Amino acid sequence: MNFNFELILFYAIVISGVISLLDIVFFARSRQRKKPTPPMPIIIDYARAFFPVLVIVFLLRSFLFEPFRIPSGSLEPTLLMGDFILVNKYDYGIRLPVLHKKIVNRKEPARGDVIVFRWPPNTSYDFIKRVIGVPGDHISYINKELTVNGEKIPQTFLQKTTAPDEGVGESTVNEFQENLLGIQHHIFTNPAKPSRDYHGIVVPEGMYFVMGDNRDDSADSRYWGFVPEQNIVGKAMLVWMSWGGIQHGIRYNRIGKLIH
């Protein structure tokens, strides 16, 4: 089950706010008239204590930064399963919480940005991928090589390594450094898997074409289409914690790592 934490937090603020307001206007005066003054009911005590904390958390995660956990290996080697990241919520403009309507425009996502967005087939799920194509771009992906606006994107082979493969465990992959029109980042390709080829995709206005860096183990725009601008949550900034499971524990070398 996927919980909408933003909506739950909003409801918690409304409920605790209403209880606090009713107490201030009605119940507190009634208690003060009694001698000795009776203790504050526990539900009112909790509501008044948690209301300001909930408001601060809600404002921070709605307009500044929101934490996310990486649940899969689709962006390896850039982001590992178990990474906890901070997402910049204001870089692409300010949106109203819950309604997600943009009220302040800033800059638009650029090629190479790693973004969090609400998955177009089911917006109750958040996905994270790399922007490959912006509006107007012509994209081709043939034999595991990317072409953007007629320019073949260079790939420099680095090494053979292993990566998590959903349903299999681990697979041997090739690691490359890709230069996405000036944005250097690493990718994985799996020589044992066929290429998901696309020819001459044109990115529509207000849409973005995204892919995972783990190219052969990523459900992305090649499979379910473009990301509408209104679905974008924010830009991935840094890893603030990384948990490698019981076997590896906390990956201290990844804490504070900027996401490129």
Q: Residue 196: its pLDDT value, please?
A: 84
Helix (H, G, I), strand (E, B) or coil at 260: coil
Instruction: Give 248's pLDDT tier (boundaries 50, 70, 90).
Output: confident
Q: Quick check: 211 and 218 in contact, CB under 8 A?
A: yes
Q: What is the pLDDT of residues 10-39, one digit of tens each?
A: 999 999 999 999 999 988 888 888 878 788
| Domain layout of the chain by residue ranges | 5-63, 68-254
Any idea which residue has 């996905």 for tokens?
A: 127
Q: What is the mean pLDDT of the chain?
A: 93
Q: Residue 1: its pLDDT value, please?
A: 42
- Positions annotated as catalytic residues are 74, 129
The angle at the Cα of 146, spanning 142 to 151, to the nearest 5 degrees, equals 115
- At the fourth CATH level, the homologous superfamily of domain 68-254 is Umud Fragment, subunit A (2.10.109.10)
Q: Output phi, psi for 46, to 5 deg.
A: -65, -45
